[in-house]
Structure 1
Amino acid sequence: MTGSSSPVAESTPGRAVLGPRAAAVLVFGSSAAVLVVEIVALRLLAPYLGLTLETSTMVIGIALTAIAFGSWLGGHIADQVDPRRLIGPALGVSGAVVALTPSVLRSTAEWAPAVLLVIASLTILVPGSLLSAVTPFVTKLRLTNLAETGTVVGRLSGIGTVGAIVGTVLTGFVLVSRLPVSGILLGLGALLVAGSAWVEWRTRGWSGAPALTLMVVAGGLAVTVAPGGCDVETKYHCARVVTDSDGGDGRTLVLDGLRHSYVDVDDPAHLKFAYVRAIASVVDAAFPHGEPLAAHHVGGGGLTLPRYLAATRPGTHSLVSEIDGGVVGINREQLGLRSQAGIHVRVEDGRLGLRRLDTGSRDLVVGDAFGGVSVPWHLTTVEAMTDVRRVLDEEGLYVANLIDHGGMDFARAEVATLSEIFEHVAVLGEPADIGGRPAAGPRGGNLVVLASDQPVDLRAIQRALDSRQTGWKITTGEDLTSWTGAARILTDDHAPVDQLLQPYGPHSSRSG
């Protein structure tokens, strides 16, 4: 065996032994690539499957299956076939698949959604299995005698784990914040194909690299014409701003395919979505007309409510906790935030933002934070609502937007949770969803819940709802208790929000 500075060296005829550096690079890189693919796959699928616990669990499960299957099969094949013939093709084919993944997934989601899960699974399983097989291939080549088996296997296993850690951290903290998802996968695909070409050139002059390079290029070209692109890819969302088709000043913020906010840049008092009109009705009825408020908003989106309060209650100070700095940038660059006085946005988690507020410092807290169609679970619990109550003054009001369907299990649980903390709780929504019995049955969609330690003028709120033509009604008191039933209380120790939520109904609103 020659010096370790040579990537591949011959020890005996027909047998190649990788130098330790080359072996480490291959194991480290392939292991890191598997985790990059896993994390980015979550972001690619979020606009179509939602960013829920189930989606995350599915992607992680598929990735782990790929790692297990690739490791087992790679080890088995390495005992049957010369590993020199396997490493390059494994890297190259996985690179080509990775590069094609953005266009394939987005096209499938738009044109053949029924098979999206199958295609998504394959785009993780195929490269994940091939890349995971690299470690046993390399291990086979590094095992020159039985006396050092434990050392070689242990070292390469450790290097692979470190690679996976680096791939995870690099993707989550660096790549996603600086590059579009398609760019990450195209770049990774190109690197894997380049690695394949390098390995093949060093071992047997394989000529398959040009064809795989063409596939990477094809993937890049396909991304430019594939449906489902974003105006901006933020840390958490695929974001688009859609202007009114009639040429007006209204703009809709779409995050991961869901309409999150509607903003009229020239008329902040123009409220399009029913749930926003309902929240405005509550605020208008609960506080004297035109009185400035100290408000805190958990979740920002297009900042429709902060803009409304600034326009209708001059002097109002709205502090917003918005976790996605990219969404804040969209507000400033495309939705006219700079011209809006009295709005201060912090890029922070909503729960942490609540902790930073002084006790009794707010007249109003508005909850409108969503990950897909789900309120993040840690913003729904008794502990979170206790913090909301702490920051409100004695006559303060909490108003929150919820989305649920079917049996409304999550909405009922959240109402039960609020009833543990506040003296007065009410729910606003379509009559069918909050206890009514229309022939059409429940539809599901947005609900608004309000909570306070002081009585609220529900008749005034109903008049405001009617004047805004929402069609919504209010449920409170015994009717609300009956509607809530035996719903579970959500706590930091047990808040299965994703499991309680029901899937979309045929008539459900997708605004959040």
Structure 2
Amino acid sequence: MKAQEASTLIPLWLLILLQVGISASSLIVEIVAGRMIAPYVGMSLYTWTAIIAVVLAGFSVGHWWGGRIASLPTELALRKTGWTMIAAACTTAGATLLLRTFAGPVVEGMNHPLAAITTLSALAFFLPSLFAGVPAPILTVAAMRNSNRSEQALGAMFAAGAIGAIAGTLFAGFVFVPWIGSVMTLLVITVVYAIAALICFWLGKVPSRGYVTSISGVGLAFAIGFWALSLPSVCDRESSYYCIRTVALSENSEDPVNLMVVDHLAHGISARDAPRVMFTEHAAMLDALPRMRMGRTDFTSFHIGGGTYSVPRAWADRGIKDITISEIDPEVTEIAVGNFWFDPATATILHRDARVALRRSAQQFDVIVGDAFTDIAAPEHLVTLEFFELVASRLSADGIFAMNLIDNVDRLDALAAVVVTLRDVFPSVEVWTAEGPPQPGERRVFVLLASASDSAVSTIETRTPDLTRFQVLANAFINSILRQKNAQILTDDHAPLAYLMGFDPAVD
């Protein structure tokens, strides 16, 4: 009876506010988890699957624990909730430190990348989710005890949790990560959890001595958070899409060569004084093959993905004009201009998804270049039948579509699926790769040329930066792979490209 009488002093609106704030914070942490893990293992379907599973597991254990605490008298239950909020603040603040400490050993020590992704997710974000899951049943029971209409109070608390989750998701993606970055966002959530803890202690009428201890707990959480904030950032620039770093590869400051790393992948390399030299096989083929097919410099082009803008920069240096580039992340463009010597005046740049940009464009292009294929984070909406039909509709009569693709030579399931899908749209589909036999287990770089007719040559030579010969694979060989794999056409409804590529880590 005393517990129930005490609970009548708690305004329902305050319990609802606590529920909204804690629920929103827990979802913000979940979204931030994906951003923070990406520099170590990339961002893919598998990354999000692991994160969501770990966070839901934490919530589940927390709700179960909270249900047991909720059976206690209200004031005692609220005091215990305050301590779980202190624990949530400390573990949230410490997630950055755990990632920095264990990411290297976990990724290097585990052969299977999915195991590494799941382990990292659990190490950094299981405990924050567990402690954040405890208050919901306790606050809900307190609200029901506080109300003459317990059913309505129950509905209000469930609605508050859902509203908080929605708000947290929106604020994480549209406000916190783009404006202040992941580590600072976790510090903000640490503050929210600390405030929630103090409110719970106040509602639970904690003794004065308990307040001293609780303030010490809050201080520990802040100390951990500011320690994490003081560490050097993993990213040079953390955008709404990527963690971006620039790495200097040349020891000669008079002849700089830079590498762009997007999340955990080497994305492209450029030299200041050699704009026409490509440093990766896929960039070399995407540069040379379309020029070989066009045989002139007065052609129009549309580029899917900017990255270091190496190919558009090389083409502009050769006098090729009317270049359009669709790069979804404006921060990538800024870095390409500042650190990779790309002149934005030489091209039209569209900061939107390439598929959206092509659909909105009425222009016909002589060349469309697809340079968005990376690792297990392959853009599935850019390799489907519907997208290839859109590409074909934007090509001139003698135009060509060139796209890069990475696949394991022991599998080639992804290559087979993309080829058979392209063949459903284009009369000619060629597969180009570096000359020479593949090595067992090799992640091979291919470039696919799709057009109305075959190329006039079967080999080309270009610098990568050393002179390298590339060849087109014989149709008979490609056909044998298609028969062996029984490849199915990829569609918007079903394009399991990441599964077809396998789970081996790769560098683009």
Q: How far, CA to CA, are the matches of 2:145 and 2:443 in structure 1?
A: 65
Q: How far, CA to CA, are the matches of 2:453 and 2:146 in structure 1?
A: 79
- 1:124/1:251 Cα in 2 relative to 1: closer, same or farther (>3 Å)? same
**Is the counterpart of residue 422 in structure 1 residue 420 in structure 2?**
no
Aligned to 1:78: 70
Task: State the Cα distance separating 1:201 from its structure 2 match.
Answer: 4.2
Task: State the Cα distance separating 1:48 from its structure 2 match.
Answer: 2.0
TM, length-normalised to structure 2: 0.90
Aligned to 1:328: 333
Q: How far, CA to CA, are the matches of 2:273 and 2:464 in structure 1?
A: 25
Aligned to 1:388: 391
Q: How far, CA to CA, are the matches of 1:119 and 1:244 in structure 2?
A: 29
Aligned to 2:312: 306
Task: State the Cα distance separating 1:144 from its structure 2 match.
Answer: 2.7
Aligned to 1:5: none
Maintained 8 Å contact 1:278/1:465: no
The answer to which of 172-181 and 153-162 deviates more is 172-181
**2:274 corresponds to which of 252, 264, 267:** 267
Task: State the Cα distance separating 1:480 from its structure 2 match.
Answer: 1.7
1:398-427 per-residue CA deviation (whole Å, 9 max, x = no partner) reads 111112224021121111111111111111
- 1:466/1:297 Cα in 2 relative to 1: closer, same or farther (>3 Å)? closer
Q: How far, CA to CA, are the matches of 1:30 and 1:368 in structure 2?
A: 41
SS at match of 2:467: coil
Maintained 8 Å contact 2:298/2:320: yes
After superposition, residues 89-100 of structure 1 pair within 5 angstroms as 89-100=83-94
Q: How far, CA to CA, are the matches of 2:331 and 2:284 in structure 1?
A: 26
**Is the counterpart of residue 26 in structure 1 residue 27 in structure 2?**
no
After superposition, residues 176-187 of structure 1 pair within 5 angstroms as 176-187=177-188
Task: State the Cα distance separating 1:20 from its structure 2 match.
Answer: 1.4
TM, length-normalised to structure 1: 0.89
**Is the counterpart of residue 481 in structure 1 residue 479 in structure 2?**
yes
**Is the counterpart of residue 243 in structure 1 residue 248 in structure 2?**
yes
Aligned to 2:103: 109
Maintained 8 Å contact 1:103/1:219: no
**Is the counterpart of residue 224 in structure 1 residue 230 in structure 2?**
yes
Q: Amino acid of the residue matched to residue 356 of structure 1?
A: R
Q: How far, CA to CA, are the matches of 1:285 and 1:192 in structure 2?
A: 60
SS at match of 1:472: strand
**2:407 corresponds to which of 404, 409, 419:** 404
Aligned to 1:64: 56
**Is the counterpart of residue 450 in structure 1 residue 443 in structure 2?**
no
**Is the counterpart of residue 49 in structure 1 residue 52 in structure 2?**
no
Q: How far, CA to CA, are the matches of 2:194 and 2:49 in structure 1?
A: 29
Task: State the Cα distance separating 1:170 from its structure 2 match.
Answer: 0.8
Task: State the Cα distance separating 1:175 from its structure 2 match.
Answer: 1.4
Aligned to 2:113: none
Maintained 8 Å contact 2:260/2:269: yes
Q: Amino acid of the residue matched to residue 162 of structure 2?
A: T
Maintained 8 Å contact 1:193/1:209: no
**Is the counterpart of residue 356 in structure 1 residue 360 in structure 2?**
yes
Q: How far, CA to CA, are the matches of 1:317 and 1:328 in structure 2?
A: 18
SS at match of 1:270: coil
- RMSD between aligned alpha carbons? 2.5
| Structure 1: gaps (5+ residues) | 2-8
**Is the counterpart of residue 342 in structure 1 residue 346 in structure 2?**
yes
SS at match of 2:406: strand
Task: State the Cα distance separating 1:68 from its structure 2 match.
Answer: 2.6
Q: How far, CA to CA, are the matches of 1:408 and 1:491 in structure 2?
A: 18
Task: State the Cα distance separating 1:321 from its structure 2 match.
Answer: 0.9
Maintained 8 Å contact 2:79/2:200: no
Task: State the Cα distance separating 1:343 from its structure 2 match.
Answer: 1.2
Maintained 8 Å contact 1:89/1:196: yes
**1:462 corresponds to which of 450, 460, 467:** 460
Task: State the Cα distance separating 1:157 from its structure 2 match.
Answer: 0.4
- 1:60/1:201 Cα in 2 relative to 1: closer, same or farther (>3 Å)? same
Q: How far, CA to CA, are the matches of 2:338 and 2:262 in structure 1?
A: 16
Task: State the Cα distance separating 1:370 from its structure 2 match.
Answer: 4.1
- 1:10/1:132 Cα in 2 relative to 1: closer, same or farther (>3 Å)? same
Q: Amino acid of the residue matched to residue 469 of structure 1?
A: L
- 1:119/1:358 Cα in 2 relative to 1: closer, same or farther (>3 Å)? closer
Between the aligned residues of both structures, percent identity stands at 27
Maintained 8 Å contact 1:28/1:164: yes
Maintained 8 Å contact 1:383/1:492: yes
**1:378 corresponds to which of 361, 378, 381:** 381
1:231-252 per-residue CA deviation (whole Å, 9 max, x = no partner) reads 0001111110112232222111
- 1:106/1:292 Cα in 2 relative to 1: closer, same or farther (>3 Å)? farther
| Structure 2: gaps (5+ residues) | 111-115
The answer to which of 150-159 and 478-487 deviates more is 478-487
Task: State the Cα distance separating 1:340 from its structure 2 match.
Answer: 5.0
Maintained 8 Å contact 2:277/2:465: no
Q: How far, CA to CA, are the matches of 1:293 and 1:233 in structure 2?
A: 35
Q: How far, CA to CA, are the matches of 1:11 and 1:385 in structure 2?
A: 65
SS at match of 1:123: helix
Q: How far, CA to CA, are the matches of 1:37 and 1:222 in structure 2?
A: 15
1:422-461 per-residue CA deviation (whole Å, 9 max, x = no partner) reads 11111112457xxx5x6x43511321111111232233x4
Q: How far, CA to CA, are the matches of 2:29 and 2:348 in structure 1?
A: 36
- 1:340/1:98 Cα in 2 relative to 1: closer, same or farther (>3 Å)? same
Task: State the Cα distance separating 1:16 from its structure 2 match.
Answer: 7.0
Q: How far, CA to CA, are the matches of 1:490 and 1:42 in structure 2?
A: 27
Q: Amino acid of the residue matched to residue 65 of structure 1?
A: A
Q: How far, CA to CA, are the matches of 1:25 and 1:377 in structure 2?
A: 40
Q: How far, CA to CA, are the matches of 1:159 and 1:146 in structure 2?
A: 16
Q: How far, CA to CA, are the matches of 1:168 and 1:33 in structure 2?
A: 9
Maintained 8 Å contact 2:401/2:451: yes
Q: How far, CA to CA, are the matches of 1:274 and 1:190 in structure 2?
A: 48
